[in-house]
Every structure is written in structure tokens, then in C-alpha cells.
């Protein structure tokens, strides 16, 4: 269930490290990896060749692309948190930092944890910086850690 945040004061009260919300689990199956490989053009064997990965990969299986994991942040965020601060649109403004500390073997289940790293008013809206940690079920290390910047646009100009 999505946490609903309806005011800038509420959002700002979450800044400083507390996890605001977490997504549900997402299964990472070979079909999803293959689809991402097709769209991205990244068909490296470590992602798409199960037979070769069984013999040559340190994980003994194929692994998801780091960018596939990163691309799932939007889906995870929509499950985890709903920002209802009167914005006309929510714009992906970019990423400050991204790391992939651990691999995502095929068959893994991932979920994202969203903490407010910072937020505040800016001309035309509100800037929100999420500190996102993506975990794989049963793994000790996160598989992705990112600072993700969103603009909540309240006017026609950014």
C-alpha cells in the first residue's frame, strides 16, 4: 500500500534518513532481462546467455542489468509513496549518485526503500531528493543505492 504525503511540512519532517515507504517485491525473471536487453541493446552474455553464465559467471546464472534495476525505481516509487502536494506534474530531474553494490541474479525479488534526503520549494514547484535503496530478498548488500531527484511542478515553468 502506498504512503500518501499531502504537505511539504509532512515531506520535510521525513528528511534526514527515516524510510518514508517501501515498495512491494518485483520478480526478476529471464524474460524481463531479455526484454530489457532488447530495448537497451545491451545483450552481453552475462545477462542473456544462461548456458554460458552457468559455466563462466561468478553467480552461476544470468544477472539483471544495473540499468534495468535503476529503471524499476519509477515502478517501485509508484507502489511505495504518493506525493499529493498539488503538483500539475512530477518530473524525473535526474540522479545525483548511483551505485550497484551487488548483482541481481535471475530469479531474485527486489524492493525499494525510499527516504527523503532533501526537499524544498523552488521556483515553479518543489524539488524532492529521494535516497533509494533497492534490496534483493535474502541478500545482505543492497543491489542499488541512488539519490533520485524529482520536480513537483506546480506552474507551467520549471
- Domain-wise residue ranges, the chain: 3-27+65-153
Q: What is the pLDDT of residues 6-64, one digit of tens each?
A: 888 888 888 886 778 999 999 999 999 999 999 999 999 999 999 999 999 999 999 99
pTM for this structure? Answer: 0.91
Residue 134's SS3 state is: strand
Contact yes or no for 146/97 (Cβ under 8 A): yes
The three-class DSSP label of residue 108 is: coil
Express each pLDDT in 80-116 by its tens digit: 999 998 899 999 999 999 999 999 999 999 999 999 9
The domain over range 3-27+65-153 is classified in CATH as 3.10.129.10: yes
- Please, is 136 exposed, middle or buried when counting C-beta atoms within 10 Å of its C-beta (0-12, 13-18, 19+)? buried
pLDDT value at position 156? 60
DSSP string, 26-52: EE--HHHHHHHHHHH----HHHH-HHH
Amino acid at each position: 500500500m502506498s504512503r500518501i504525503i499531502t504537505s511539504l511540512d509532512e515531506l520535510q519532517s521525513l528528511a534526514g534518513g527515516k524510510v518514508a515507504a517501501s515498495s512491494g517485491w518485483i520478480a526478476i525473471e529471464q524474460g524481463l532481462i531479455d526484454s530489457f536487453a532488447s530495448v537497451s541493446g545491451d545483450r552481453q552474455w552475462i545477462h542473456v546467455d544462461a548456458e554460458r553464465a552457468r559455466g563462466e559467471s561468478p553467480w552461476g546464472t544470468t544477472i539483471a542489468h544495473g540499468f534495468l534495476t535503476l529503471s524499476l525505481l519509477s515502478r517501485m516509487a509508484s507502489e511505495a509513496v504518493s506525493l499529493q502536494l498539488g503538483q500539475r506534474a512530477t518530473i524525473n530531474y535526474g540522479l545525483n549518485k548511483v551505485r550497484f553494490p551487488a548483482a541481481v541474479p535471475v530469479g531474485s525479488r527486489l524492493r525499494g526503500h525510499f527516504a527523503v534526503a532533501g526537499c524544498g520549494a523552488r521556483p515553479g514547484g518543489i524539488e524532492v531528493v529521494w535516497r533509494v535503496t533497492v534490496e534483493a530478498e535474502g541478500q545482505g548488500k543492497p543491489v542499488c543505492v541512488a539519490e533520485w531527484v524529482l520536480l513537483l511542478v506546480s506552474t507551467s515553468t520549471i
